[in-house]
Amino acid sequence: MKQFVYFLGIGGIGMSALARWFQANGHTVSGYDKTSTPLTEALAAEGIAVHYDDAVTSIPAAVRENRDQTLVVLTPAIPKDHQEWAWLRENGYDIRKRSQVLGVLTQGHRTIAVAGTHGKTTTSSMVAHLLHHAGVPCAAFLGGISVNLGSNLLLPPKEIKNEKLRSKNSAAYSSRAEPTTSNQEPTTSSVPIVVEADEYDRSFLTLHPTVAIVTSTDADHLDIYGNKEALVESFRQFVGQIQPGGTLIINHTADASVAAAVPAGVRVIRYGLTAEQGPDLFATDITAQGHQFHFNLHGPQGIVADLQLAVPGYHNVENMLAAACVAQLEAVAPEQLQAAVAAYQGVKRRFEFIVTAGTTEQPKVYVDDYAHHPREIEAFLRSVRALYPNQYLRVVFQPHLFTRTRDFAPGFAESLSVADEVVLMDIYPARELPLPGVTSELILSQITAPKKSLQSRAEILANAAAVSSYDILATVGAGDIDKLVPDLRNILDIHWHEA
């Protein structure tokens, strides 16, 4: 492996996990990103050089002077006219996509890959947490920040060579983990690697997992695939790469043709909330108690009673069923599983409670979620409704991508109409250029909620303080809506606690 690793788009959630892995294993890591964020600031604090101007002179001298000893990792979000990328190409650097690097890192190792158009980040974080909490040494590359781990990367202690990272992560490693000496060479061959397998740009086809979870195959990324049939075909190819003797754990909503595409000898476990939905893996006696969901797991490895999940939502019960099944495959005992499920705290921006105030009878709650697909939004909002059936619900949603808005405007409108009031922001473009006629108005015009509007950031913040007619506020979206969260938290902390 090369000494210098340079990231174009280092602030991405998947890119930053890879950057941390290389840094932890003794490589010299640096990178570019468009803007400073809390994540890039965290990388800098861990000793990774990050800059924000697209200029060849900003590339560290060691990278410019050591082409043959440098690996360049590229995110698809980097625009084609990027100056640094052009220079690196012209000078013959080894440039690979993030997915290609992840494929190389997992080669020859026991890989647990979690795929799906939604649910994969939460489910992969659950798998990593359950194994880690039970004392099973494992590595994990996650697509979100695990609250339990405080990171998007999990490594067994012996793999952390970088002292800043070792210190930062020491609190996340419980006494269950076996101590290791600092002079041991990093290796993952004896431990499972949990990977979020991204279907965007067919990235997950670089993986050859031992265990694969498929949480969903709903239409998405039609800018890449063109139609749902092509997307489903990519999932068929993905499960076709499961290792001989491996296992596919697949949600009941997934296209039936996907499970049929597994190689001979691969075990298929179908899961859902009920025995009718998931004949192989399901839950019984599901009850909501406050923010907790209690249930019993019925699966191929037996029954585990009285699991207590502190992250609400029926969709999260489904996610935990799949994750717990993986833990059972890794020989986690029932009592260990009960303790690990109870200790799970979720992922940042996945059903994350920001402010809670008021009383049991009249709660005031602000919750934030990353949902950016109609089915995700529907699952999230219906779960909020189940928790607070009689409260006025205001939702602030930022559409993500012009193509996704164009393709799913009716679905977005229908899912958002679960709320009493919907506030839309302008579309977050990410990697895309505007499309003629595609704006948030496409969604707004089809929303049937009693109240709806299009508001700027300033208006959203002003109205949060000025209007007290709502009980539950939810911010939803995958763009930069999270930048509103600290300001809204401060406003509502004062507004609701002084009321």
Helix (H) or strand (E) holding 334: helix 334-343
- To the question of whether residue 119 is assigned a binding role by annotation, the answer is yes
What integer pLDDT is reported at residue 499 of this predicted model?
A: 57
What integer pLDDT is reported at residue 93 of this predicted model?
A: 98
What integer pLDDT is reported at residue 498 of this predicted model?
A: 67
Q: Do 327 and 378 lie in a common domain?
A: no
- To the question of whether residue 11 is assigned a binding role by annotation, the answer is no
Residue 102 lies in a domain: no
Q: Do 335 and 212 lie in a common domain?
A: yes
Low-confidence ranges of the chain (pLDDT < 50): 160-188
Pairing of strands 247-251, 267-271: parallel
Q: Are 396 and 211 in contact (CB under 8 A)?
A: no
Residue 118 lies in a domain: yes
The two tokens of residue 353 are: 């409670």
Q: Do 436 and 455 lie in a common domain?
A: yes
Residue 174 lies in a domain: yes
Q: Are 329 and 302 in contact (CB under 8 A)?
A: no
Q: Rounded to the nearest 5°, which phi and psi values hold at 300? A: -60, -25
- To the question of whether residue 118 is assigned a binding role by annotation, the answer is yes
Q: Do 449 and 431 lie in a common domain?
A: yes
What integer pLDDT is reported at residue 450 of this predicted model?
A: 96
- To the question of whether residue 187 is assigned a binding role by annotation, the answer is no
What integer pLDDT is reported at residue 432 of this predicted model?
A: 85
Any idea how long the chain is?
499
The DSSP-derived string for 471-484 is SEEEEE-SSSGGGG
- To the question of whether residue 57 is assigned a binding role by annotation, the answer is no
Range of the domain at 74: 4-96
Q: Which residues pair with 297 in a beta bridge?
A: 283, 304
What integer pLDDT is reported at residue 170 of this predicted model?
A: 42
Q: Do 371 and 257 lie in a common domain?
A: no
- Helices 163-170 and 13-24 meet at what angle, rounded to 10? 110
What integer pLDDT is reported at residue 181 of this predicted model?
A: 26
Residue 186 lies in a domain: yes
Q: Do 87 and 132 lie in a common domain?
A: no
Which amino acid, 227?
A: N
Q: Do 14 and 162 lie in a common domain?
A: no
Q: Within 10 A of 100 (CB to CB), how many other CB atoms are there?
A: 14
Half-sphere exposure of 200 (CA within 13 A, CB side): 15
∠ Cα 23 29 31 (to 5°) = 135
d(CA 356, CA 366): 7
Q: Do 51 and 133 lie in a common domain?
A: no
What integer pLDDT is reported at residue 148 of this predicted model?
A: 93
Q: CATH no. for residue 319?
A: 3.40.1190.10
Q: Which residues pair with 353 in a beta bridge?
A: 367
